[in-house]
Amino acid sequence: MDHDRHLRIAVEEAERALAEGASPFGAVIVGPDGSILSRGRNQVLSGGDQTAHAEVDAIRAGGAAIARPPAGGGWTLYASGEPCLMCLGAILLCPIDTLVWAAGSRVASAYATILTGAYRADRVGALRVVTEPVSALRDRCHALIDAFERGARHVP
């Protein structure tokens, strides 16, 4: 795989994001033959969407095609910057089997988070979390998930 070529595309998307007034992050998803499935760029400010990070934007732009890994290997996501925890989670939910980034993160390293558990510790400590306060609704949600997992569309 031509890392230099594809990282350059991700960086071009980052430059495009900056030109639009957004944070300078870009991403591109590539098949094993080097064909481009989709591109993405940060649109948090320009799009008014707090989840519109470059990696998530590229995954969204890939649409339904991303669910069908190409013959000869899976998808590779190239990112201009090391993905944050949200984007790493999205990547792990997709059939993306290779992740490459141009520059490590100085503020939101998902890998450092996994290793140290220190991702935005100030926010985690301040967040009020209420888990399963209504048992009947918990059971109803479990029943929905069970029904989905028994269905034909479920892929474990």
Question: According to the binding rule CB under 5 A, does residue 6 interact with Zn ion?
Answer: no
Instruction: Tell me whether residue 55 is one of the annotated catalytic residues.
Output: yes
Question: According to the binding rule CB under 5 A, does residue 39 interact with Zn ion?
Answer: no
- 18-37 burial, b at 16+ Cβ within 10 Å, e below that, comes to eeeebbbbbbbbbbbeeeeb
Alpha-carbon distances, residue 53 vs 31, 111, 151 (angstroms): 21, 17, 32
Measured from the CB atom, is 1 or 86 closer to Zn ion? Answer: 86
> Residue 63: what residue type?
G
Measured from the CB atom, is 73 or 89 closer to Zn ion? Answer: 89
Contacting range for Zn ion; rule: CB under 5 A; set: 31-39, 65-73, 78-86, 128-136: 78-86
Evaluate whether 90 touches 75 at the Cβ level (below 8 Å): no
- Provide, rounded to whole angstroms, the least separation between the CB of residue 8 and Zn ion: 20
- Provide, rounded to whole angstroms, the least separation between the CB of residue 33 and Zn ion: 27
